Amino acid sequence: MTRHIVEDLGIKPKLVIVGVNVGELNHDPIDPQTITNSKLRRYLPISKKEQVTTILAVLKERFNPNMVRDIFLALFYRARGYPGERVTFLSNGVQEFNRSAPPELEKIERTLHTAIRLFSSETELSENRIKYFAAFIRFADEHGIEVRVAILPMPPRVVEALKAETLYPKLLEDLKSFLEGETRAHANLRVFDATELYLYNGDPQDFNDATHPGPVNLDRITDFILSDYRR
């Protein structure tokens, strides 16, 4: 994405903020939506065979009873009128949140098992994703772009469960070690450990689900990592 912005669009950002957790460095394949995007695909280290295989897999996966149902729903709504939007966006494209709404604690519990499944099969960080992350930091350094990375938090309840049932603590330490090494190698990089809620008065209940911080915590994390930023 950064190479596309700089090399294709001719835009040189002063600062790129990256929110990352162990889950983003798992062994899932590259997102098919990225591979099927012609503007981004050329920056990916994939073969033509992998590209074609991915496109065919996406078509096979999407042509199913749910897709047929959605087609008929779309035609129905087109003829009868669409329901009101459940998600709204600000003029700058950021999703609008009701920051005064109470946290959905039941959703954290409901998605806890999904989080455990996500981490249960992971024994080490993805070598490829680490390589891509390092290439991004190096590219930004070469183009004078400052990078600030926030290691994002999860609810304390979820962290305790992950500690008991997965290798999450080891993976988190591996992520921190990697970023510490990159910080020593690149003056453009700063890393903020937002997993420590006390550092920015984080709310242990403000999470959208078991793995994603809510809008209040995101506001506080943003203030935390930009507290000394000068344009």
Count how many domains the chain has.
2
Within this chain, do residues 23 and 35 fall inside the same structural domain, yes or no?
no
Which residues have C-beta within 8 Å of that of residue 39, sequence separation ≥ 6?
4, 8
Within this chain, do residues 121 and 195 fall inside the same structural domain, yes or no?
yes
**What percentage of the chain's residues is helix, strand, coil (to nearest 5)?**
55, 10, 35
Taking only the tens place, the pLDDT of each residue in 100-138 is 777 778 888 889 998 999 899 899 999 989 999 999 999
| Cβ atoms 63, 71 nearer than 8 A | no
Residues 77-87 have a mean pLDDT of 80
Taking only the tens place, the pLDDT of each residue in 163-186 is 999 999 999 999 999 999 999 999
Domain, as residue range, for 10: 2-27+89-225
Phi then psi for residue 166, to 5 deg, are -140, 180
Within this chain, do residues 58 and 132 fall inside the same structural domain, yes or no?
no
Which residues have C-beta within 8 Å of that of residue 88, sequence separation ≥ 6?
95, 96
Within this chain, do residues 129 and 66 fall inside the same structural domain, yes or no?
no
Task: Tell whether 74 is covered by a domain.
Answer: yes
Within this chain, do residues 16 and 57 fall inside the same structural domain, yes or no?
no
Global pTM reads 0.82
Which residues have C-beta within 8 Å of that of residue 23, sequence separation ≥ 6?
118, 119, 211
Give the other-Cβ count within 10 Å of 124's Cβ.
13
| Cβ atoms 22, 125 nearer than 8 A | yes
Within this chain, do residues 6 and 57 fall inside the same structural domain, yes or no?
no
Which residues have C-beta within 8 Å of that of residue 3, sequence separation ≥ 6?
43, 139
